[in-house]
Structure 1
Amino acid sequence: MKASIPLRRVLKSRISNATISKSSLSDALPSISLFNSREFAYLASINIGGQNFIVSIDTGSSDLWVVSSTCADADCLGVPSYSPSNSMTPTNTIFKLGYLTGNVLGNVAYDTVILGNFQVASQVFGGSYRIFFHSCAYNLLAFVNQTTGISLSSTGNSGILGLSFPQQASISSNLGFNLILNIFSNLDEQSRLFGIRLGRGVNDSALTIGGHDLSLLPNVSQIRMFDVIPKSTKGSVVYDYWKLSLTGLLIIPDSVDFPLSPSKIPGASQPIAVLDTGTTLILGPSKDVQRLWKAVGGARLGQDGNWQVPCNMALVLAFKFGDGGVFAVDPTDLSWSEDTTSDGWCLAGVQANDKVVGGDWLLGDTFMRNVYVEHYGATDTTGPRLGMLNLTDANSSLSAFTNSRGSGGYVIPTRLNLSSSLSDKISGFLTGSGQFVSLIIACVLGFLVGGLVTALVRSSLRALRRKRRKLRYM
């Protein structure tokens, strides 16, 4: 069985009811659509207990939850809420979940869930009376009664569908498994995967479960496979997030390898990148992000503490993973305006955050829009894996960006100031001051001439000693 679920993209602060269209749950191969919001949330249709909802798709969390009809918070009042159904079974278990920004609180229950053409009876979920995040466990879900900082009303979604590992679920696995694991349990091993394609338009995104995205089928052979990095534990291997080794960051058009800081994760030989559709931007260590924008030049820190770049900055970043897979990020994802009346400055697509959980870098939608990612569940012989297909060509994206933003765009310096290493400092000296180069030449010539004079003097002294010895024995 396979389901292709259309995803729609919606703007968080600028959403109307007309921008949300629920996909049919009765199609043979339903497309689970994602909705796009101002901060580019991707939303899908889901049915819980016979009631239709729009939920945000989040690969960075593991629970399924929707707001309850008992939630009186202002954020809950603007979206459809769950009313207890005849198929719902309560658990009397409290559900509590926190995110980078926001948290939810509610109760755990079981109910029938339909996603695409998959139907799971008695799925555990969370309902909130204080907005929580994801709650999925054996047809478990949570009903949220309270929400803080989740901004549901701005995107129009009633909750979140977490697609990460059960290890990170707020709902105990003793009560049941999360929704994606329940779906996988009914598929053969080769079909235990879900793919995510995030577009830049309203209706060009999809969540595909149980097979490949048919729109990308001709290129499936080009998908590069990577092992998911397990959580650092003693004893058994445990997986928490969809993450992989980040082996490099390439700055284009100068084709410079940007030096990354060592990982903060114990035992990690390279930085760890977490793939997360629930986060808008790319987040990295503050030290690295500061050096990145200073090296590129032209960026500034806004009053809100976020990095800003000229809206016409033609820059491509490429991330390298594992054994060398390189995936470029389109310039339009690295500089975007928050409103239609830009002052020439755009929010940078890469921001600093030292609170990334489970890794060093968090690659959100800014990165995910440039790749098609397949998430493979573990089998009897292999651990979970990630399959990635590059959807962005660096050269063509640069050309398209220049054409759309104008020919007078900001030009990246031909030499980037990566002064964090000795080799970079030497390179800067050699390409910088002419006086320094002249000094080097003078030193070299002085060394050569001095060496020649020394050799001649030593030769003359040896000849004189031989002559003296000869006169002594005559």
Structure 2
Amino acid sequence: MKNVIWGLQVAAIWSSLLLTVCTAHDSGLHLKVVGKPNPYNLRHNKRGNIIGSSTLSNSGDVSYYANITLGGASFSVLIDTGSSDLWVAGSIPSAKETGKNSGVDYAIGSVRGPVKLANLNFTGYIVNDQAYLEVTPDKTNPEGLGLIGLGPNKGSNVFNAVGSSAGAAVVDRIFRQNTSTPNFISVLLGRYDDPTDTFPGDITVGDILQGYEKITSQTKLEVTQVSVLESGAQHWQTLIDENGILGPDGQPIALTTVVAKTANGNRLTAVFDTGFTLTQVPKSLSDAVYGRIPGAQFVNRSDVGAIWEVPCDKEVNMTFIFAGQKIPVHPLDTSIDLNVTNASGDKVCLGSYQPISTAVDTNYDIILGMSFLRNVYILINYGDFVDGTSNTANPYIQLLATTDPAEGHQDFVNVRLGGKDDANWQLLPPSSKGSPPKSDSQFVRGIKYYWPIIAGVGGFLVLVILISCLCVRRRKTGARPFWRGKKSYRPLHDPAPVGMQPLGHDGVPRQSVSDYRNPWDSRY
């Protein structure tokens, strides 16, 4: 979703891309995905804030890429569950023309180009004449890179442009031509600086990773659906339990949803999106997680926007609960070390659960990005979301927790504390109200989002009313306008009048806007 706010500069929050090493598994049904810092400092505006003025070169974080073959050419494509279209930067001589054009708008940035057809090899599956966007290479999208959207086909712009099943998304095409393949994908993301585990990443189609078979026995989380009129906004999203987010003190964080379908306010809607590095959350949640950490400060950085700066040696823990299942978050995923400093020049880490920065959206409350997804093995069953299918089971999501809190603590000690377990600090006391503030209501978020426009229009109306009143008074009394002085004479003994100051107009200060985000992503 494009987000344009008067008076604000649009800037990307980051992001460095990572070159991946992808090798096919023997079954030919899944890919190994390995991330590492990108030596080329490439930028990909898939995700971003609407606050700030420059990008953040994120050489210490990860994005997850897999190799595909399209029309005989190899491309490294970002794995993105938050969007639904395939695009690559570069031309493919053997591609077929469709005569159609389309594009995708992300939180920051967009891609445009002709829709073409070429044979695709993805996770060992061959898809003939797969529809994709051909993007002209530039500094933002260098040749040989691209993105593969794994979201619901309902959100595919290419599908809408083609107007038939020939333009369906990649996974939909695989499921339709391989009817014996189970209609699910699974994703496992690794952690770059984890000293205990290696840094694998895997994506599968219709296959379960060895050693993670328990995923099939986990509770099936219902995919909450948006209205038919907003089908393009459909994402892989579900409900978090009531009081289902535990803060650093182990206690539930009080939050209220903005989603009308869950207007009781007790359960939040969360989107699972591999395209976001920083998880996007309501500000009240971010405040509750980081606000009681000694030395933490909430700032509006020019490089990343509104975010919490946290001392890197402070271990921050939190837990999510889905259908009674607790998902602990690794402390290396609650704050991220990008080797940045604060305004005083001291090194700080950044809170990985950032105040939501996508445009005001009432279909979800939270976007669970990489900082959450590195803590689960996720299975997404497409159900009847597959193009051309009907009378099948509803789509669902299953999560298998992969983080052991004790191991996570030791990892934090080894990485951030140099191996010395010196956790002799305590959380600051809670606010005087006794609990974190509730998240803004939908109405309040809307007011904040459009405040610059409201203030400008309001100021203009006040000025018009003031001038109108002066004109009416002049017509009734015959008085001259104040700017031309008084018509009558004044007695000599009266003091001289003070010089009239010209009318002033108070400028409306620019206001930071936290939208999803955004954010976002895919096209939030």
TM-score relative to the length of structure 2: 0.64
Among 6, 24, 42, the residue aligned to 2:64: 42
Say yes or no: does 1:241 pair with 2:235.
yes
Contact 2:86 2:170 in 1 (8 A): yes
Pairwise CA distance, 1:105? 1.1
Instruction: Name the residue aligned to 1:372.
Output: 377
Please tell me the residue identity of whatever aligns with 1:289.
S
Instruction: Name the residue aligned to 1:145.
Output: 136
Instruction: Name the residue aligned to 1:390.
Output: 401
Instruction: Name the residue aligned to 1:168.
Output: 155
Among 219, 226, 229, the residue aligned to 1:231: 226
Instruction: Name the residue aligned to 1:281.
Output: 278
Contact 2:30 2:205 in 1 (8 A): no
Instruction: Name the residue aligned to 1:438.
Output: none
Q: Find the residue that maps to 1:326 and give its secondary structure.
A: strand
Instruction: Name the residue aligned to 2:422.
Output: 408
Among 347, 351, 354, the residue aligned to 1:351: 354
Instruction: Name the residue aligned to 1:84.
Output: 93
Please tell me the residue identity of whatever aligns with 1:90.
E
For 1:115 and 1:230, the matched residues in 2 are separated by 28
For 2:276 and 2:147, the matched residues in 1 are separated by 12
Please tell me the residue identity of whatever aligns with 2:238.
L
Instruction: Name the residue aligned to 2:195.
Output: none
For 2:393 and 2:180, the matched residues in 1 are separated by 10
Say yes or no: does 1:220 pair with 2:220.
no
Say yes or no: does 1:200 pair with 2:191.
yes
- Indicate how the Cα distance of structure 1 residues 251 and 296 shifts in structure 2: closer, same or farther if over 3 A, else same: farther
Instruction: Name the residue aligned to 1:23.
Output: 23
Say yes or no: does 1:107 pair with 2:109.
no
Q: Find the residue that maps to 1:336 and give its secondary structure.
A: strand
Q: Find the residue that maps to 1:241 and give its secondary structure.
A: coil
- Indicate how the Cα distance of structure 1 residues 418 and 314 shifts in structure 2: closer, same or farther if over 3 A, else same: farther
Pairwise CA distance, 1:418? 8.1
For structure 2, the 5+ residue unaligned runs are: 1-13, 38-58, 193-197, 385-390, 439-524
For 2:181 and 2:432, the matched residues in 1 are separated by 45
Contact 1:310 1:410 in 2 (8 A): no
- Indicate how the Cα distance of structure 1 residues 237 and 168 shifts in structure 2: closer, same or farther if over 3 A, else same: closer
Say yes or no: does 1:317 pair with 2:326.
no
Pairwise CA distance, 1:152? 3.9
Instruction: Name the residue aligned to 1:55.
Output: 77
Instruction: Name the residue aligned to 1:136.
Output: none
Contact 2:21 2:33 in 1 (8 A): no
Instruction: Name the residue aligned to 1:427.
Output: none
For 2:414 and 2:179, the matched residues in 1 are separated by 47
Instruction: Name the residue aligned to 2:45.
Output: none
Q: Find the residue that maps to 1:57 and give its secondary structure.
A: strand
Instruction: Name the residue aligned to 1:335.
Output: 335
Pairwise CA distance, 1:170? 1.4
Say yes or no: does 1:294 pair with 2:285.
no
Q: Which one has the largest radius of gyration?
A: 1
- Indicate how the Cα distance of structure 1 residues 318 and 189 shifts in structure 2: closer, same or farther if over 3 A, else same: farther
Deviation sequence 1:327-354 (CA, Å, 0-9, x none): 1110001112113999441011110124
- Indicate how the Cα distance of structure 1 residues 422 and 372 shifts in structure 2: closer, same or farther if over 3 A, else same: closer
- Indicate how the Cα distance of structure 1 residues 325 and 334 shifts in structure 2: closer, same or farther if over 3 A, else same: same
Q: Find the residue that maps to 1:171 and give its secondary structure.
A: helix
Contact 2:80 2:147 in 1 (8 A): yes
Please tell me the residue identity of whatever aligns with 1:326.
K
Q: CA RMSD in A?
A: 3.2
Pairwise CA distance, 1:300? 1.1
Pairwise CA distance, 1:181? 0.7
Among 249, 261, 264, the residue aligned to 1:254: 249
For 1:61 and 1:237, the matched residues in 2 are separated by 13
Contact 1:105 1:147 in 2 (8 A): no
- Indicate how the Cα distance of structure 1 residues 267 and 189 shifts in structure 2: closer, same or farther if over 3 A, else same: farther
Determine which structure has the larger strand proportion and give its number.
Answer: 1
Residue range with higher mean Cα deviation, 105-114 or 189-198: 189-198
- Indicate how the Cα distance of structure 1 residues 263 and 147 shifts in structure 2: closer, same or farther if over 3 A, else same: farther
Q: Find the residue that maps to 2:274 and give its secondary structure.
A: coil
- Indicate how the Cα distance of structure 1 residues 290 and 82 shifts in structure 2: closer, same or farther if over 3 A, else same: same
For structure 1, the 5+ residue unaligned runs are: 1-10, 68-80, 125-140, 425-474
For 2:333 and 2:436, the matched residues in 1 are separated by 32
Pairwise CA distance, 1:371? 0.1
Contact 1:222 1:389 in 2 (8 A): no
For 1:340 and 1:24, the matched residues in 2 are separated by 37
Please tell me the residue identity of whatever aligns with 1:84.
P
Please tell me the residue identity of whatever aligns with 1:372.
Y
Q: Find the residue that maps to 2:211 and give its secondary structure.
A: helix
Residue range with higher mean Cα deviation, 414-423 or 165-174: 414-423
For 1:360 and 1:290, the matched residues in 2 are separated by 15
Please tell me the residue identity of whatever aligns with 1:93.
K
TM-score relative to the length of structure 1: 0.70
For 1:157 and 1:410, the matched residues in 2 are separated by 49
Q: Find the residue that maps to 1:366 and give its secondary structure.
A: helix
Q: Find the residue that maps to 2:383 and give its secondary structure.
A: coil
Pairwise CA distance, 1:359? 1.3
For 1:159 and 1:178, the matched residues in 2 are separated by 15
Number of paired residues?
372
Structure with more relative contact order (C-alpha pairs < 8 Å, separation 6 or more):
2
Contact 1:254 1:415 in 2 (8 A): no
